[in-house]
């Protein structure tokens, strides 16, 4: 399809319904079952939009619950996607905000959904291999010296070659709940690989990024709630209240998660500085021995 073949949508008839770290979603009363997702300027060109769209279609082919994807459209110079709008939905993070007493329940739900996800066989002929992405990320991380790079590489090599699903942005804002049904959303980084990659990302959000006000605003959650969420998640996931070992493993994968970021999306100059600072800190903390 040529770039001009995508239909043009005029955003003035649409109103904002949701916001995530990457984009904004809109609804239009004339099309009540549709949702338009417009990414921020750094990822609103055809390639990233098409990647997220195509991967979402492929995820629904795996039998996982996810909103149906309809089509890619143009919004001025940018591209956006139209998908099924899930009515009366709330993300797990929104539920944590509205009903803080349900924080632990939401964390346990995410742990169970995460297990199901990892147990779902992925389409390895279509989706990328997370382990390969991680090795590539380590090889291209200029901030690491040769010895540290070799150490992290050796650790990643020990991970099982799992062909289960890996979300890539596994956190409570990316599961929405409606009428008792959960849906996975935000599937642009979907891949196959060991569940620890997703767990490392969640640890990053709940334990490393959580003190940042901007992060608390995006998730509508307080620092204390992020910590409660992690504790309940880890307890459910490991089946034990003593999850210190699991936390250290999750920390190792949080370091890998930061290193992976540039593989998903080229960071701006400032983002690169920010990511490098976290990468250095986490690598020192979790790959010291």
Which residues are registered as beta bridge partners of 239? none
**Shortest approach of ligand ADP to residue 178 CB, angstroms?**
8
Name which of 98 and 157 has its Cβ closer to Mg ion. Answer: 98
Nearest approach in angstroms of CB 151 to ligand ADP is 32
**Contact region with Mg ion (CB under 5 A), list: 52-60, 124-132, 135-143, 170-178:** 170-178
33 binds, among Mg ion, ligand ADP, none (CB under 5 to 8 A by kind): none
52 binds Mg ion (CB under 5 A): no
Query: Does residue 174 touch Mg ion according to CB under 5 A?
Result: yes
* CA angle in degrees (0–180, nearest 5) for 37-38-42: 140
Smallest gap from Cβ 85 to ligand ADP, in A, equals 5
**Could you tell me the smallest distance in angstroms from the CB atom of residue 169 to Mg ion?**
6
Least Å from the CB of residue 287 to Mg ion: 28
Instruction: Measure the CA–CA gap between 142 and 197, rounded to whole angstroms.
Output: 21
Query: Cβ of residue 83: shortest distance to ligand ADP, in angstroms?
Result: 5
Closer CB to ligand ADP, 90 or 272, in the complex: 90
Buried b (16+ CB within 10 A) or exposed e, 116-131: ebbeeebeeeebbbbb
Closest CA to 256 of 147, 134, 148, 146: 134
Footprint of Mg ion on residues 7-26 (CB under 5 A)?
Answer: 20
Separation CA 228–CA 206 (nearest Å) = 9
CA–CA distance, 104 with 143 (Å, rounded to integer)? 37
Q: Within its chain, how far is the Cα of 253 from the centroid?
A: 14
* Least Cβ distance, residue 98 to ligand ADP (angstroms): 13
CA distance 96 to 258: 25
Nearest residue to Mg ion, scored by beta-carbon proximity = 20
Q: Which residues pair with 35 in a beta bridge?
A: 83
Tell me how many degrees the CA angle 157-202-100 measures, rounded to the nearest 5. 160
Q: Residue numbers of the site for ligand ADP (CB under 6 A)?
A: 18-23, 25, 35, 37, 67, 83-86, 89, 91, 173-174, 176, 185-186
**Token pair of 270 as six digits:** 């400032």
User: Can you point out the beta strands (E) in the chain?
Assistant: 15-19, 23-27, 34-39, 69-75, 78-84, 90-91, 165-166, 175-178, 181-184, 191-192
Of ligand ADP, Mg ion, none, which one does residue 91 interact with (CB within 5 to 8 Å by kind)?
A: ligand ADP
Distance between CA atoms of 170 and 180, rounded to whole angstroms?
Answer: 20
| 90 vs 115, beta carbon nearer ligand ADP | 90
Between 129 and 171, whose beta carbon lies closer to ligand ADP?
171
Tokens of 288: 């010291």
Q: At what angle do helices 223-238 and 196-203 cross, to 10 degrees?
A: 160
- Going by the DSSP 8-state scheme, the letter that residue 38 receives in this structure is E
Query: For Mg ion, which is the closer residue by CB, 82 or 144?
Result: 82
Show the binding pattern over residues 183-212: x = contacts Mg ion (CB under 5 A), - = does not.
Answer: ---x--------------------------
Residue 100's binding partner out of ligand ADP, Mg ion, none, with CB under 5 to 8 Å set by partner kind: none
The one of Mg ion, ligand ADP, none whose footprint includes residue 252, by CB under 5 to 8 A per kind, is none
Interface contacts to Mg ion, rule CB under 5 A? 20, 173-174, 186
């Amino acid at each position: 399809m040529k770039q001009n073949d995508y239909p043009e949508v005029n955003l003035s008839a649409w109103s904002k319904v949701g916001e995530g770290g990457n984009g904004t979603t809109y609804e239009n009363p004339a099309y009540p079952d549709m949702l338009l997702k417009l990414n921020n300027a750094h990822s609103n060109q055809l390639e990233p939009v098409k990647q997220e769209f195509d991967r979402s279609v492929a995820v629904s082919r795996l039998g996982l619950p996810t909103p149906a994807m309809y089509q890619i459209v143009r919004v001025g110079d940018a591209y956006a996607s139209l998908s099924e709008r899930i009515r009366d939905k709330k993300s797990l993070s929104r539920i944590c905000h509205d009903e803080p007493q349900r924080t632990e329940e939401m964390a346990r739900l995410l742990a169970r959904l995460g297990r199901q996800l990892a147990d779902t066989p992925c389409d390895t002929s279509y989706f990328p291999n997370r382990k390969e992405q991680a090795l590539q990320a380590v090889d291209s991380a200029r901030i690491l010296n040769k010895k540290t790079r070799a150490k992290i590489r050796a650790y990643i090599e020990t991970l099982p070659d799992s062909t289960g699903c890996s979300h890539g942005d596994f956190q409570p804002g990316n599961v929405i709940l409606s009428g008792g049904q959960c849906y996975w959303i935000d599937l642009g980084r979907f891949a196959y690989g060991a569940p620890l990659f997703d767990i490392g990302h969640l640890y990053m959000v709940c334990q490393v990024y959580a003190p940042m006000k901007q992060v608390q605003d995006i998730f509508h959650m307080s620092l204390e709630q992020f910590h409660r969420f992690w504790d309940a998640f880890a307890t459910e996931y490991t089946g034990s209240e003593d999850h210190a070992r699991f936390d250290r493993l999750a920390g190792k994968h949080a370091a890998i998660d930061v290193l992976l970021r540039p593989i998903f999306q080229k960071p701006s100059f400032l983002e690169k500085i920010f990511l490098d600072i976290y990468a250095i800190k986490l690598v020192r903390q979790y790959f010291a021995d």
